[in-house]
Amino acid sequence: MKDRVRRLFSQISPKVDRLLIGNATEPHLDQTFFYLFDVPGGLFEGSWLVAEPEGTVHVLTSQLEEESARQAARSDPGVEVHAWGSREERERLLTDLVPASASVGLNYRELTHEQFLQLGSTFPKAKWADASNAVRKTRQIKDASEIERLGRAGAIGSRVAQKIPGLLRRGATELEVAAEIEYAMNREGASGRSFGTIVGFGPASAEPHYAPQDRRLEPGSSIVCDFGAFTLRYASDITRSFRFGPTDPELKKVHETVLAAQQAALAVLKPGVPAKDVHLAAQRVVDASPWKGRFTHGLGHSIGLAVHDGFAMNPTVDEPIETGMTITVEPGIYLPGRGGVRIEDDVVVTSNGYRFLTTAPREYLEVGA
């Protein structure tokens, strides 16, 4: 991980002596910890990571995960593991590893207020610096091993997406279909879901961040399924939309428009293009259709150790797309009270465009009722 640590330090300005990354209690875990320490399992609650500018990483772990930590460190010569058995031992390790009046970078976006107060009393002379932008920018550009894992997570999502038509039975509830999607992901090799699975039938499909309920599938419903897998800590995020017959000509047109919007965004997606231009390429297609204004969210977000990994593509973001970013492209059209369509794929940005990480068919599909 030395390379990641050095890249991260090079983004922090002005320079700092140490970078300190801490985990509180689930769900307040900073995925940056796992970015700099590649350990396959464990929560590492209450653990700290001290990184040094030349690349060394010290992992302070409780005895709960000591064995996993030591095993992971065996394949990374840049990592030193220190186990603590009490809070006092942990404080002592921290004060041994971080000079008392050091300038220390912290990830302000993830650190809890309680952790910050505690650090203040452990290091009354330290100078804190906000390293959160450097963290985001470094994590934004994925290396080959991250892209490989994201590809695996995407492949799980794609295989499961293709099974969904077989799960759509008259009378099945949204919660039942969501449970079957999650079970299928685990069967395909996922360690779990990367976020709460969305399955919406009929009017519920018009709500982008809907949570499945006990609504039953009836003929004449639009269906949106938005789900993702974690594998080796990396996420996928895929949405496919279906029609449970009979045909609704308007929603078929809506589907074709969303697909055209996604294709328009992908056609301009390449390094150097401002993120907002990619969003606007999709939005223009929707706004030229009868459903002007019904694409109600940003086009996508970066994906990595977290499903929402820090970068957004929406009409306000000037920051350019860069090679090595992994992002979702997810336009949608939502007709309140009637139904919606969203098509979401994960892509990696290449030197001259992009490559899909998710590949399941995107075309309008009517499932027999």
Residue 292 buriedness (CB in 10 A; 0-12 / 13-18 / 19+): exposed
- Where residue 46 falls (left for φ over 0; alpha for ψ -120 to 50; beta otherwise) is left
For the chain, report the end-to-end CA distance as a whole number of angstroms.
52
Alpha helices in 168-240 (DSSP H): 174-187
Q: Interface with Mn ion includes 289 (CB under 5 A)?
A: no
How near is the Cβ of 330 to Mn ion at its closest, in Å? 5
Using CA atoms, how far apart are residues 4 and 268, in angstroms rounded to an integer?
29
Minimal CB distance residue for ligand GLY: 226
How near is the Cβ of 330 to ligand GLY at its closest, in Å? 6
Closest C-alpha among 42, 51, 45 to residue 29: 45
Q: Binding string, 292-331, against ligand GLY, x = CB under 6 A? A: --------------------------------------x-
Query: Residue 108 binds what, of Mn ion, ligand GLY, none (CB under 5 to 8 Å, by partner type)?
Result: none
Q: How far is CA 11 from the centre of its chain?
A: 22
Q: In the complex with ligand GLY, which residue's Cβ is closer, 55 or 212? A: 212
Q: In the complex with Mn ion, which residue's Cβ is closer, 127 or 355? A: 355
Instruction: Choose which of 146, 174, 237, 309 interacts with ligand GLY (CB under 6 A).
Output: 237
Residue 171 buriedness (CB in 10 A; 0-12 / 13-18 / 19+): exposed
Q: In the complex with Mn ion, which residue's Cβ is closer, 101 or 296? A: 296
| Contact call for residues 200 and 174 (beta carbons, < 8 A) | yes
How near is the Cβ of 154 to Mn ion at its closest, in Å? 12
Binders of Mn ion in range 309-348 (CB under 5 A): 328, 344
Q: In the complex with ligand GLY, which residue's Cβ is closer, 16 or 156? A: 156
Query: Residue 195 binds what, of Mn ion, ligand GLY, none (CB under 5 to 8 Å, by partner type)?
Result: ligand GLY
Instruction: Choose which of 118, 195, 253, 287 interacts with ligand GLY (CB under 6 A).
Output: 195
Instruction: Choose which of 146, 344, 345, 346 interacts with ligand GLY (CB under 6 A).
Output: 344
Q: Binding string, 217-236, against Mn ion, x = CB under 5 A? A: ---------x----------
User: Which 3-state string (H, E, C) describes 316-336?
Assistant: CCCCECCCCCEEEECCEEEEC
How near is the Cβ of 259 to ligand GLY at its closest, in Å? 17
Q: In the complex with Mn ion, which residue's Cβ is closer, 4 or 342? A: 342
| Contact call for residues 81 and 71 (beta carbons, < 8 A) | no
Place of tokens 């929406």: 314
Number of Cα atoms under 13 Å in the Cβ half of residue 242: 27
Instruction: Choose which of 237, 309, 345, 346 interacts with Mn ion (CB under 5 A).
Output: 237
**208-to-98, 116, 216, 281, 354 alpha-carbon distances in Å:** 45, 35, 19, 20, 25
Q: In the complex with ligand GLY, which residue's Cβ is closer, 97 or 333? A: 333
Q: At a CB cut-off of 8 Å and minimum separation 6, what does 53 contact?
A: 5, 6, 9, 15, 16, 17
Query: Is the alpha carbon torsion for 181, 182, 183, 188 positive or negative?
Result: positive
Q: In the complex with ligand GLY, which residue's Cβ is closer, 8 or 184? A: 184
Please give the torsion angle defined by the CA atoms of residues 34, 3, 327 and 184, in that order, rounded to the nearest 10 degrees. Answer: -40
Instruction: Choose which of 226, 309, 345, 346 interacts with ligand GLY (CB under 6 A).
Output: 226
How near is the Cβ of 300 to Mn ion at its closest, in Å? 6
Q: In the complex with ligand GLY, which residue's Cβ is closer, 222 or 239? A: 239
Binding site for Mn ion (CB under 5 A): 226, 237, 328, 344
Binding site for ligand GLY (CB under 6 A): 195, 226, 237, 330, 344
